[in-house]
Amino acid sequence: MKKRFAKLISLALVGVMSAGVLAGCGNSNDTASASKDGIKIGVLVADVSGEEALGFRNYYEEYIQNNYDVTFEYTDALESAEDEKAAIEKFTSKGYDAIISLSSSDRAQQIETCEEYGVYYAIASGVLDDEQYEQYKGYEYFVGQIGPSNETEFEAGKAMGEYYKEQGISTVAIYGAFIPNPMHVYRAAGIIAGLGDTYGGTDDMNGMIGQIFGDQAVDPSKIEGDVEVVAYLQGYGDTTTDELNAAIQKAPEAFLSVGMATTFFAQTLSQNDIQFADIDSFTEMNLDSMTNGTLTYLAGKYSSSIGPVFALVMNAVNGNVIRDNDGNAVSLSQGYLVATDVDSFNEYYVTDNGDTPIFDKESLDTIIGDAVTYDDVKALVESK
Amino acid sequence: MSTLKKIIHSLAIPVLVAAILEGLCLTQGQNIITNAKSFDNFVVYTAIVMITTMALSINLNSGRFDFSLGSMAALSSVIGAEITYSALAGGKGSATMMLIVTVTVGCLLGLISGAIYVALRLPPIITSLGVTLIYEGIMYTITSGKYLMKEVQNSSMSAFANTWVYAFIIILVVLIFMVVVFEKTTFGYDYAALKSGQKVSINTGINEVKNALICYGICGALMGLVGFLNAARNTTINGGQLNFGSIAIMFTAFLPMFIGGYISQYCNEKMGFLLAAVCMSLLNSTFAVFQIK
Amino acid sequence: MYLQIVFNEAVVLAVVATGAIFIYTLGTFDISLGASTLFAATLGVTVYNKTESLTLMILVLFATGIACSLFNSVLASVFNIPAFVTTVAMMSVLSAIASQIITTDGGALGGISIPSSVVKPYSGIGFKAMLLIIYFAVCFYVFQLTKTGRRMKFIGGNPLCASLTGIKANKYTIIAFTMAGIGVGLGAFLTLTYTPSVTTQTASSIGMNIFIAIVFGGMPISGGPRSKIYAALIGGFSYMLLNDILEIVIDSSAAYGITQVISALFFMAVVYITSMNYRTQALPR
């Protein structure tokens, strides 16, 4: 009796599953026809919990979705290249019009997959490696990329280093966050260069980052120059509290971080009266840290910085695939906004929140339309 | 074996580990414990490892593999932090209140996990996979995936983490509690009987369901304590742990459980876990010495 | 199209988990199989990039998978260290070494890869299905039709009795881990045929999903005589199908947390129903 019941239930489940699959298949047609009414864009994300990632999502799902005839669907946290490819295939099967990627496990693979399925693709808040861009810039469905390039990451770190050097600081501690994450490697190299120091005898970006990738960390014994790096730590785990304590014991005049210090160390650094700098986002907690005087430098992206990428995709889906002057996919670099006091922080924090983002409907409308050109997009991106 | 010999054998591994690690640190021109703050961190981490190991051992010794330890610690600390902050807004007594709420919530979460296991009668390794996903999902929903910062960053919590005294008291209390409950009560006798002979014990009239539920409840309360200690130590709680992101904490307890099991040949098992936790904490401090550059 | 996606997602899990059935049958488990797959894929890509030989790459994939697994089996059987200790340690070690290679060689790209044209001829569903069938047939033969398989179930069901009847558990532990190692090598190859790049998170979900797949397929996690070689195949594909259906059914605007809760509840409900036939009076362990 029990066995028969289990079999019946199992059969019912199979039925439900099959119905689900059929529903999924049916969905494919439905969404394809629905796209005539509104554009559907799939968004690939790796980070689903960071302040910056949540800000981006809020901008697309709240502001853009309310102001344009578009629907965004976000993926779960994509961990690997396989996850990214499967996500693109799922969006494609559901008849999505375009993909915007905030996930970077294997962007080359993402472009090839979108090309294979004939779906428009753009990279937001980041760019391809130069060599990869050269390879893929002519792909038909690769719309473009707008975000900080590796050079921009290096420059963001460099500007931070220069700021403290100009303040006359002679000792610092550096937090390398999740090196060898490429973004963090470039920022760390930039900080060292900005401090006027050399790494392994060079202050050339490529020379430095090559060594840091090889070392899998920043090795302070290779740093030479006027500003002394008295402590270096990276990662986050069981030993971090001890490492931070050891760094604090070395009494650095400033604690320079390539990311996440505002989350991990704000309170401890504040208790020890050590000023710190970070590359993060304009959040309420960071405002508190800046108000109490501990956070003295913050380079951040703003949530609506992914607006122009949406405009590129929107144009492409509507038939206006914008190309640069050489006929290639658009590639524009976006810098960071820097706050060194409460006023400048507030300016970005207040401005980019809620209903009045920096890239609002009014400004985006200037680059959405059949007559919009590469120069229009470039001008708007560079103006902010 | 004489008492003196037992003490010597019990302490042999921690002393040996301390000597070797101190020697290694000296090669770097440093010590394992470099200053008072370093000692505070050492004691707090010892408490975290010891309690996690005990929590893991309660069910694992009975053949119940529990993946949900980390999710219980994280979710209970999130709920504890949110309730405490909404009541006291980070003011005086926040640490005490959060400690009480977190342990209570942890106990409840443990009981729920145990109830699911008892009700479904599926292997605990399976129910714990489901429970882990559920607790992670609830935690993510409560925190919107963000780190909790302002809820745990206040002077009361700092005062707790900035001295070894409170962590030391917690170690003593937990140690005594575990020894008494598992070795001096009817529940403890039943637990030992069920551990070594499940069918025979049930046939003699021991209520296995009740015993299992209490085990899960204690396990949850201990992990609540771990969640609180982690929040105080890290000054943040990561609310965005999905897809088994919380299970790593369990893996940190395997080695001390193994070492503790060996040491317990010469002393009380719970004492063995404490000594093993001391070894792990020494190792952790040594890693820090080598990692800081 | 959607079934093709499900197949691609599930085939690696099904292959690795089918190999893992041999280990689970013995009443033990290996949590490092995901890390072994990553490690094998990493070495395979590295060797290809140095030699440009596909044959050598495939050999390295299988050799690495088997070597990792055998190392675990030696620790477990010869030194009698509990599998949950050795395999957890191996998981950390293999992931760390693979990450070191990937981040050093990958540099700013964050991953290492081989040209997609190399594996393109092997990326079709037909070819993958053929590999899956061949591997499954071999496993089925060993598990169901030989003394080896029967003895493994005996050891898993009652190790003491098995030992008293003269069955050497060590020998079968090594065979079980070798079979799992072959699955890891094949899994690594199939991973590369889908995406020819390896990042530090490649195959990261396999370790935990193996548990789920095996149970979902109706095999008791404790192994023994009720072990079924087809459990991973059915469980792996069903679980992936279920996840994909939930993705479609659950409103996409629902938060990640809620989706995960619903998915977990569904998982437990399905396992509860499918395991109704073998409930015991005592609580299962």
Using the 3D structure, point to which of A280, A301, A322 is the last residue of a domain: A301
DSSP chain C: -HHHHHHHHHHHHHHHHHHHHHHHHTT---TTHHHHHHHHHHHHHHHHHHH--HHHHHHHHHHHHHHHHHHHHIIIIIS---HHHHHHHHHHHHHHHHHHHHHHHHGGGSSEE--HHHHGGG-SHHHHHHHHHHHHHHHHHHHHHSHHHHHHHHHHH-HHHHHHTT--HHHHHHHHHHHHHHHHHHHHHHHHHH-SEE-TTTTTTHHHHHHHHHHHTT--TT-GGG--TTHHHHHHHHHHHHHHHHHHHS-TTS-HHHHHHHHHHHHHHHHHHHTGGG--SSPP-
pLDDT < 50 regions, chain B: none
Let me know if residue A262 belongs to a domain.
yes
Question: Under a CB-based contact definition with an 8 Å cutoff, are residues C114 and C52 in contact?
Answer: no
Query: pLDDT, tens digit, for every residue of A285-324?
Result: 888 889 988 999 999 888 888 999 999 999 999 999 999 9
Does the structure show a pLDDT above 50 at A15? no
Q: Is C191 on the interface with A (CB under 8 A)?
A: yes
* Residue A160 in tokens: 């931070």
Q: In which element (H, E) is residue C253 found?
A: none
Shortest alpha-carbon distance between residue B89 and chain A (Å): 15
Q: Which bin fits A335, alpha (ψ -120 to 50), beta or left (φ > 0)?
A: beta
Pick B291's closest partner by Cβ from A233, A271, A288.
A233
* Same domain as A231, residue A127: no
pLDDT tens-place string over residues B233-262: 999 998 888 888 888 888 888 889 989 989
User: The tokens of A13 are what?
Assistant: 């489940």
- Considering only CB atoms, C191 lies closest to which of A2, A82, A210, namely A82
Locate the domains of chain B by residue range. 35-284
| A13 domain-assigned | no
Residue C247 to residues A5, A264, C232, C254, Cα–Cα distance (Å) = 28, 33, 22, 10
What's the CA gap between C285 and C280, in Å, rounded? 11
* Tokens (6 digits) for C234: 């059915």
State whether A165 and A247 are in the same domain. Answer: yes
Q: Is the Cβ–Cβ distance between A197 and A229 less than 8 Å?
A: yes
CB neighbourhood size of C66 (10 A): 21
Q: What angle do CA A131, A137, A140 make, to 5 degrees?
A: 145
Q: Is A123:A101 a contact under the CB 8 Å cutoff?
A: yes
Residue C255 has what pLDDT? 65
pLDDT reported for residue A16: 47
> Is A350 a member of any domain?
no
Chain B residues close to A271, C-beta within 8 Å: 158
The per-residue pLDDT for C279 is 66
Using a CB–CB cutoff of 8 Å, tell me whether C283 touches chain B: yes
pLDDT at A229: 94
Question: A241 and B35: CB-CB below 8 Å?
Answer: no
What mean pLDDT comes out for the span A163-180?
A: 93
- Find the CATH number of the domain harbouring A43: 3.40.50.2300
User: Which range marks the domain in which residue A182 is found?
Assistant: 151-301
Interface test with chain C among B53, B131, B133, B283, by most C beta carbons within 10 Å:
B133
Q: Do C109 and A132 touch (CB under 8 A)?
A: yes
- Domain boundary at A301, A318, A348, which? A301
Angle made by CA atoms C71, C74, C75, in degrees to the nearest 5 = 90
Q: Of the candidates A23, A86, A105, which has its C-beta nearest C111's C-beta?
A: A105
**A44-53, A332-341, B232-241: range with lowest mean pLDDT:** A44-53
Instruction: Kindly report the CATH number that applies to the domain delimited by C2-278.
Output: 1.10.3470
What is the Cα–Cα distance from B227 to B244, expressed in whole angstroms? 16
Determine the Cα–Cα distance for residues A111 and A116; give it in Å rounded to an integer.
9
Same domain, A287 and A331: no
pLDDT by residue (tens digit) across A57-80? Answer: 889 988 999 999 999 998 888 888
Q: For residue A44, name the pLDDT band (cuts at 50, 70, 90).
A: very high
Give the predicted TM-score (pTM) of the model. Answer: 0.85
DSSP A320-334: ---B-TTSPBEEEE-
Same domain, A52 and A93: yes
Range of lowest pLDDT (A20-29, A240-249, A295-304): A20-29
pLDDT at C9 over 60: yes
Distance from the A112 Cα atom to the nearest Cα atom in chain C, whole angstroms: 9
Q: Do A140 and A47 lie in a common domain?
A: yes
Q: Is residue A249 less than 8 Å (CB to CB) from chain B?
A: yes
Range scoring the smallest mean pLDDT among A267-276, B273-282, C195-204, C242-251? C242-251
Q: Residue B242: its pLDDT value, please?
A: 83
Which residue blocks in chain A are alpha helix, DSSP H?
A: 2-34, 51-58, 65-67, 81-93, 107-117, 130-136, 150-166, 182-194, 205-215, 240-249, 261-264, 266-271, 284-291, 307-317, 342-351, 361-365, 374-383
- A216: region left, alpha or beta (phi > 0 left; psi from -120 to 50 alpha): left
- For range A13-42, the mean pLDDT: 51
Pick from C88, C258, C265: which is nearest to B254 by CB?
C88
**Minimal C-alpha gap between C283 and chain B (Å):** 6
C40 and C102 Cβ atoms separated by less than 8 Å: no
**Mean pLDDT score of chain A:** 86
**Which of A106, A127, A179, A183 has the highest number of chain C CBs within 10 A, making it the mutation to test binding with C?**
A106
Put simply, whether C270 touches A (Cβ < 8 Å) is yes
The pLDDT-based confidence of C86 (bands split at 50, 70, 90) is confident
Q: Which two three-digit tokens encode residue C45?
A: 């890509």
pLDDT at A34: 38
Torsion, CA C91, CA C97, CA C101, CA C102, rounded to 10: 20
Nearest CB to A245 within list B38, B147, B234: B38
The domain spans of chain C are 2-278
Same-domain check for residues A260 and A292: yes
Please report which helix (H) or strand (E) contains residue C244, including its range: helix C231-249
Given an 8 Å threshold on Cβ–Cβ distance, is B129 in contact with C275? no
Same-domain pairing of A192 and A221: yes
pLDDT of A30 strictly over 50: no
Q: Least CB-CB distance to A104: which of C2, C110, C194?
A: C110
The answer, for C268 touching chain B at a CB cutoff of 8 Å, is yes
Q: Which amino acid is at C141?
A: Y
Which chain B residues contact residue A245 at CB under 8 A?
34-35, 37-38, 41
Q: Give the tens place of pLDDT for each residue, B65-116.
A: 888 999 999 999 999 999 999 999 888 899 999 999 999 999 999 999 999 9
Which of these ranges, A170-179, C142-151, C221-230, has the smallest mean pLDDT?
Answer: C221-230
Chain centroid, CA A291 distance in Å? 26
Contact criterion met (CB < 8 Å) for A6 and C238: no
CB B107 within 8 A of CB C273: no
Domain annotation covers residue A344: no
Number of compact structural domains in chain A: 2
ipTM, two decimals, is 0.87
Which of C1, C100, C272 is best to mutate for the A interface (most A CBs within 10 A)?
Answer: C1
Does C262 lie at the interface with A, CB-CB under 8 angstroms? no
Range in A371-380, B171-180, C204-213, C244-253 with the lowest mean pLDDT: C244-253
Search chain C and give the residue with CA nearest A178.
C103
Q: What is the mean pLDDT of residues A359-378?
A: 93
Task: Please report all neighbours of C, defined by 3+ CB atom pairs within 8 A.
Answer: A, B
CB contact under 8 A, A213 and C108: yes
On whether both A178 and A292 belong to a single domain, the answer is yes
Does the distance separating the beta carbons of C263 and B254 come in below 8 Å?
Answer: no
- Residue A3 has a pLDDT of 45
The residue of C199, C243, C260, C270 whose CB has the most chain A CBs within 10 angstroms, and thus the best one to mutate to test that interface, is C199
Q: Would you call the peptide bond into A180 cis, given omega within 30 degrees of 0 as the criterion?
A: yes
Supply the pLDDT for residue C155: 92
**Three-state SS for C98?**
helix
Q: State mean pLDDT over A277-287.
A: 87
3-state secondary structure of C51: helix
Nearest CA in chain B to C208: B244
Q: Is A238 an 8 Å CB contact of chain B?
A: yes
| C250 close contact with B: CB closer than 8 A | no
Subunits adjacent to chain A (3 or more Cβ pairs under 8 Å): B, C
Bridge partners, residue A277, by sequence? A256, A297
Grouping H, G, I as helix, E, B as strand and the rest as coil, residue A279 is: strand
A352-to-A65, A349, C134 alpha-carbon distances in Å:
16, 6, 58
Contact between B224 and B104 under an 8 Å Cβ cutoff? The reply is: yes
Mean of the per-residue pLDDT values of chain C: 87
Residue C85 has pLDDT above 60, yes or no: yes
pLDDT for res A358: 86
| CATH number 1.10.1740 is the correct assignment for the domain at B35-284 | no
pLDDT at A188: 96
Q: How many CA atoms lie within 13 A of A251 on its CB side?
A: 0
Quick check: A243 and B292 CB within 8 A? yes
Residue C145 scores a pLDDT above 90: yes
